[in-house]
């Protein structure tokens, strides 16, 4: 098959189509892509890196199977998910939990744990990771529970296996998530199995500050970065200041997820707390869909949104990212595994601009995850998502299912849908 001349790209002749296409496929040139700033460009790749971004129609010729026509698509940095729970994902129908707040969700989840084995956890985690990849997310950081019944490491074993299976298609980072019930030795075994970070949820412990210090000491001993569930409540303890002060000057990156409590503080106190966050360079993860669901059940009137203090954090220069947290499990019954859903919620519930919202689920997330810079810029990693739509507004609003996903310069997922809608006869001629 001969490719059309670059200056007349026409409809995308991208091969036989996703249904029969064999992937992954290395890509050398992306043609006629619209960038978020409106520029129409060709993007030249060199292996897993973006080599050049040039005006559309000017990239050199290449073999047809190594090019992708993106007329009508907007090209973004591929999203990264900074806070998932792949071990919990897609368990809603199995557990059939009551709806409710964080405490209720934890109860339902813990009661279900004895039924899960490594293969069952791996099956759900794999399905969920691939669903996220198909939507464009090429890197995921997943917290994985140290389980309270049976072998506490079943989830870790499952996820280490899934990480290995999917290597080459997406990057998976694993966080050992325990609390006061998990002795140091279980964290140590998790590290030996290959987890990447030490996690925890000290705000839910009997002694939040004591539990925080225990987790940090474990991380220091294991020489691993830290990612803590932090202050996930509207009026509970405030542990983030202690997290910031205790890790100041650390070479290992430190992340604080949720930080719901931060969004409830009066401005003066908030400014002091954010100064501590910035001084320690904590990475902040906002999780709108899950916090909107789990928070505020005790406030039937003027229900708070439960998001962290997004605008003040951004204005203070903190590293901020956003993710989805849970998908279809006791902590969140819904979710489309799509970073564009998170971006849309950041606009609606967080009052961020479209540009800020996309930045939080792409470049911001990669920064918090300590991943190299990616996107359609020379020298950046070729982690890319093309979505049908002209510009960020249409892309975030419609979240069109037509997508191309590139990881390390290779096309790893392609989706195209066909829609046929009846028209009144009087409009047939206009169609
Ligand atoms: Zn979480």
Query: 68 and 89: one domain?
Result: no
Tens-digit pLDDT profile for residues 17-67? 454 578 999 999 999 999 999 999 999 999 999 999 999 999 999 999 999
Let me know whether 225 and 254 are in one domain: yes
Count of domains for the chain = 2
The beta strand positions in 220-292, using DSSP E, are 226-230, 254-258, 283-286
Residues 176 and 219 sit within 8 Å (Cβ to Cβ): no
Residue 5 has pLDDT above 80, yes or no: no
pLDDT of residue 429: 75
358 C-alpha to ligand 1 centroid (Å) = 21
Does residue 423 register a pLDDT over 90? no
**Is there a contact between 287 and 323 (Cβ–Cβ < 8 Å)?**
yes
CA distance 58 to 55: 6
Residues 40, 94, single domain; the answer is no
| Distance from Cα 147 to the centre of ligand 1, integer Å | 15
**Residue 407 · residue 54 · CB < 8 Å:** no
- CB 26, CB 426: distance < 8 Å: no
Averaged pLDDT for residues 380-386: 98
331: CA distance to ligand 1 center in Å?
A: 9
Give yes or no: residues 359 and 387 share one domain. Answer: no
Asked whether residue 349 falls in the same domain as residue 426, the answer is no
CA 207 to centroid of ligand 1, rounded, Å: 20
Q: What is the DSSP letter of 363?
A: H
Show the domain range for 90. 80-368
DSSP 5: P
Structure confidence at residue 14 as a pLDDT band (50, 70, 90): low
Whether residue 1 has pLDDT greater than 50: no
Q: How far is CA 350 from CA 194, 255, 263, 346, in A?
A: 36, 20, 11, 5
358 and 412 in a single domain? The answer is no
330 CA to centre of ligand 1 in angstroms = 12
Would the pTM of this model clear 0.85, i.e. be above it?
yes
In degrees, to the nearest 5, what angle opens at C-alpha 171 toward C-alphas 389 and 398? 20
Domain end (from 335, 352, 368): 368
**CA–centroid distance, residue 22 to ligand 1 (Å):** 35
Closest by CA position to 113, among listed 181, 200, 172? 181
How many CA atoms lie within 13 Å of 155's alpha carbon, on the beta-carbon side? 25
CA of 145 to the centre of ligand 1 (A): 10
Task: Tell me, yes or no, whether 254 and 342 share the same domain.
Answer: yes
Distance between CA 306 and CA 328 in Å, rounded? 19
Residue 193 sits in the same domain as residue 162: yes
Q: According to the model, what pLDDT value does residue 13 have?
A: 56
Q: What is the mean pLDDT of the chain?
A: 94
Which of 316, 336, 368 corresponds to the end of one domain? Answer: 368
Q: Are residues 55 and 123 in the same domain?
A: no
Confidence of residue 78 (pLDDT cuts 50, 70, 90): very high
State the pLDDT at residue 91. Answer: 97
Do residues 262 and 334 share a domain? yes
Contact 122, 156 (CB under 8 A): no
Domain shared by 70 and 31, yes or no: yes
In this structure, the answer to whether residues 72 and 84 fall within a common structural domain is: no
Least confident piece of the model among 1-5, 27-31, 186-190 = 1-5
Instruction: Write the burial class of residue 34 (CB in 10 Å: 0-12 exposed, 13-18 middle, 19+ buried).
Output: buried
Query: Residue 11 is part of a domain; what is its CATH number?
Result: 2.30.40.10
Alpha-carbon torsion 272, 305, 368, 224, what sign?
positive
Report the separation in Å between the CA atom of 278 and the middle of ligand 1, taken as the mean of its atom positions: 22
Phi, psi of 126, deg, nearest 5: -65, -45
CATH number at residue 182: 3.20.20.140
Domain end among 352, 368, 384:
368
Tens of pLDDT, residue by residue over 303-356, are: 999 999 999 999 999 999 999 999 999 999 999 999 999 999 999 999 999 999
């Amino acid at each position: 098959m001969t490719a059309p001349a670059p200056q007349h790209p026409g409809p995308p002749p991208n091969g036989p189509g996703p249904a029969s296409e064999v992937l992954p496929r290395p890509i050398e040139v992306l043609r006629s892509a619209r960038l978020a700033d409106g520029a129409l460009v060709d993007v030249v790749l060199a292996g897993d890196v973006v080599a050049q971004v040039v005006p559309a129609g000017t990239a050199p010729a290449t073999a047809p199977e190594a090019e992708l026509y993106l007329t009508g698509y907007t090209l973004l940095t591929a999203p990264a998910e900074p806070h998932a729970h792949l071990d919990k994902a897609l368990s809603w129908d199995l557990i059939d939990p009551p709806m409710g707040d964080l405490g209720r969700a934890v109860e339902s989840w813990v009661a279900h744990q004895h039924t899960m084995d490594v293969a069952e956890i791996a099956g759900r985690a794999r399905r969920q990771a691939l669903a996220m990849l198909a939507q464009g997310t090429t890197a995921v950081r997943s917290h994985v529970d140290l389980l309270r019944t049976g072998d506490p490491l079943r989830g870790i074993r499952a996820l280490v296996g899934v990480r290995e299976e999917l290597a080459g298609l997406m990057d998976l980072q694993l966080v050992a998530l325990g609390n006061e019930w998990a002795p140091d030795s279980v964290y140590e075994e998790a590290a030996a199995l290959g987890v990447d970070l030490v996690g925890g949820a000290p705000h839910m412990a009997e002694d939040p500050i004591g539990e925080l210090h225990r987790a940090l000491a474990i991380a220091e001993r294991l020489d691993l970065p830290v990612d803590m569930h932090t202050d996930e409540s509207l009026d509970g303890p405030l542990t983030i200041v202690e997290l910031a002060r205790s890790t100041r000057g650390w070479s290992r990156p430190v992340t604080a997820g949720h930080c719901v409590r931060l969004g409830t503080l009066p401005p003066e106190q908030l400014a002091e707390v954010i100064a501590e966050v910035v001084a320690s360079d904590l990475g902040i993860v906002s999780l709108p869909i899950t916090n909107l669901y789990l928070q505020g059940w005790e406030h039937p009137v003027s229900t708070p949104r439960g998001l962290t203090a997004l605008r003040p954090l951004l204005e203070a220069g903190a590293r901020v990212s956003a993710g989805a947290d849970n998908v279809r499990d006791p902590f969140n019954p819904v979710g489309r595994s799509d970073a564009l859903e998170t971006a849309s919620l950041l606009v609606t519930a967080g009052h961020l601009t479209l540009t800020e919202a996309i930045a939080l689920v792409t470049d911001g997330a990669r920064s918090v995850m300590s991943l190299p810079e990616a996107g359609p810029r020379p020298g950046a990693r070729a982690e890319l998502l093309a979505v049908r739509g002209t510009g960020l507004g249409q892309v975030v609003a419609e979240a069109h299912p037509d997508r191309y996903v590139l990881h390390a310069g290779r096309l790893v997922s392609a989706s195209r849908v066909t829609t046929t809608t009846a028209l009144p006869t009087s409009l047939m001629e206009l169609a």
